[in-house]
Structure 1
Amino acid sequence: MNKHMQDSYLKRIERVLAYLSDHLDEDLDLDKLADVACFSRCHFHRIYHGLMNETVMQSVRRLRMHRAAGDLIRTSSEITAIAKRAGYGSVEAFSRAFKSSYGAAPASYRSIRQDIPVVSIPTMELKKMFDVEIKSIDPMKLACVDHHGDYMQVGKAFEKAGIWAAKNGLLNQTAKSIGIYYDDPASVETEKLRSAAGFVVDKDYSDEEYGISTRSVGGGRHAVLIHKGPYAELGKAYQWFFGAWLSESGEETAEAPCFECYLNDPKTTVPSDLVTEIYMPLK
């Protein structure tokens, strides 16, 4: 274990937590928080989520609720004002969220003067969960279709790219299927998620009918995680990869998106046998 690097990551996350606590009444920008932590803006949200076991916005909601609980017990402020300070537009929405977290509606909580829960930093589970290897790879050209929205629906883009590849005689046993994922689904609204699906090619392609464009992916050092199982379970691999593994490794992420390479065909492989390589770009 690289204890020095792990401590460094935790201290940088601690700076973010301190900043959040001091600026809870403000609109909190992920890029600003990445700068506070001196992490890559491209990957800050994944690192934070991996280390904290919650997203930045979940932390903000948790901290605001913690503060609201203190306001309910220690002040005589109107619940309407407390709800607004916690970021809610109505008492009803605040009451539902508060009861979900604290087990009682705000008025009841205030009347029975419950103790304020202790806010603690989740510990990391550092055990080895996946095989990871660091590789230097050459850049690859990818003929791809862009996808916007839920990553679980990216199959639509793969189908479109596959039809185009078959049409152009590119879909064979050696064809390498790649997915690029630009955003952390735990930190970005579903409808704003950006990804691309396609195949490795040896020259540039463009086809407006199919929405095909060519871009470069990879190049340089990458940490490669091997995941076996359903695509729906890849999220836990990302969380461990960007949390426990990265902080232990002594590595820093580069300003490039992660991508996945699919080693077998989901149409002919049972989900439990699907093998996916997740590539994390490194400096």
Structure 2
Amino acid sequence: MNRLRTDLDDDMSFERLAEVACFSPFHFHRIYRGMTGETIADTVRRMRLLQAATALTTSERAVIDIAVEAGFDSGRGFTRAFSAFAGMTPSGYRSRHARIDRAIREGDPMEVEIRELPARRVLAMRKLGPYPQVPQVWDALWLWMRQRGLIGRIESCIGLPYDDSEQVPGDRIRYDACVGLIPGLEPPLPDDEVRWLDIEGGPYAVYRHVGPCSLISEAFGRLYGLWLPQSGITLRAAPPLEIYINDRWTTPPDRRMTELALPIEA
């Protein structure tokens, strides 16, 4: 793996990698995929896309030049692959980071409240895929709840975004859509589509985001990149929370309120 990271521009043939790893070429591919969950080609492609993401945010080079350096023959192919990887186009990714960097430079204030949040037991549905696809899992969970007559028992709606979209390929990003229920008879869970999940309580740094859910990732970027370094606060090893305050199905996008909560050390 280290050789792949340092020699992405070299001609690392399958046979050469097997030799470096001291395995027979006959078995190496199966061993590698069993250990990493992806093929060698998948790994090289992912690492080149990570390098491209860095180049997009740290330079003003043309997108097509970055695409060629990442091993793509056309801007269209690069845009398609990068969008699947990052959940947005290369130009959109660059613009998003430019906005976050500008907010950090200008020191836009963020009103963050330190608050003790309770532990919660919730019903959770997992989504694997880029964060822009999150509405799909909420629609699926809502349908699941409606089919079981549980809509009237919903007490809270919380999202758990586990992964950094800059570090994890788009199709591997984990997100749990969660609902807390008013106490009562627990619904049966006949399959793995929905499961019970315990959300850790404790101190959280909470920022109220007002606006479309599509801007939540940008707000998290400002929290991590602007507020946290200046706060002197240490994060706990737990996922952040997206606590939805009003109904996303009936509230206009520009009036939606979401509390973004970072788990912090006491």
Q: What are the ranges of 5 or more consecutive residues in structure 2 without an aligned counterpart? A: 9-48, 61-65, 79-100
1:259 matched to which residue of 2? 241
Q: Distance between the aligned counterparts of 1:176 and 1:185, measured in 2?
A: 25
Query: Following superposition of structure 1 onto structure 2, how do residues 121-132 of structure 1 map, counting pairs within 5 Å?
Result: 124-125=104-105, 127-132=107-112
User: After superposition, what is the alpha-carbon deviation per residue over 1:70-120, rounded to whole angstroms, capped at 9, x for unaligned?
Assistant: xxxxxxxxxxxxx9xx97557x679xx9xxxxxxxxxxxxxxxxxxxxxxx
Q: CA deviation at 1:152?
A: 1.7
Query: Following superposition of structure 1 onto structure 2, how do residues 94-173 of structure 1 map, counting pairs within 5 Å?
Result: 124-125=104-105, 127-172=107-152
Report the TM-score when normalising by structure 2: 0.60
Q: What are the ranges of 5 or more consecutive residues in structure 1 without an aligned counterpart? A: 1-22, 28-54, 67-82, 98-121
Q: Distance between the aligned counterparts of 2:225 and 2:57, measured in 1?
A: 21
| Aligned residue identity for 1:25 | T
2:259 matched to which residue of 1? 277
Q: Distance between the aligned counterparts of 1:268 and 1:277, measured in 2?
A: 18
Query: Following superposition of structure 1 onto structure 2, how do residues 197-216 of structure 1 map, counting pairs within 5 Å?
Result: 197-201=177-181, 202=183, 207-209=189-191, 211-216=193-198
Report the TM-score when normalising by structure 1: 0.56
The percentage of counterpart residues that share the same residue type is 23
Q: Distance between the aligned counterparts of 2:74 and 2:112, measured in 1?
A: 43
| Aligned residue identity for 2:127 | H
Q: CA deviation at 1:167?
A: 4.0
Q: CA deviation at 1:234?
A: 1.2
Q: Distance between the aligned counterparts of 1:175 and 1:264, measured in 2?
A: 11
Query: Following superposition of structure 1 onto structure 2, how do residues 32-51 of structure 1 map, counting pairs within 5 Å?
Result: none
1:25 matched to which residue of 2? 6
**Structure 1 vs Structure 2 CA RMSD:** 3.7
Q: Distance between the aligned counterparts of 1:257 and 1:166, measured in 2?
A: 28
Query: Following superposition of structure 1 onto structure 2, how do residues 176-187 of structure 1 map, counting pairs within 5 Å?
Result: 176-187=156-167
The structure with higher relative contact order (CA 8 Å, sep 6+) is 1
SS, match of residue 259 in structure 2: strand
1:116 matched to which residue of 2? none
Q: CA deviation at 1:151?
A: 1.6
Task: Give the aligned length.
Answer: 191
Contact 1:206 1:214 in 2 (8 A): no
Q: Distance between the aligned counterparts of 2:109 and 2:5, measured in 1?
A: 35
Q: Distance between the aligned counterparts of 2:151 and 2:124, measured in 1?
A: 13
Contact 1:253 1:281 in 2 (8 A): yes
Alpha carbons of 1:243 and 1:88: their partners in 2 closer, same or farther (altered >3 Å)?
closer
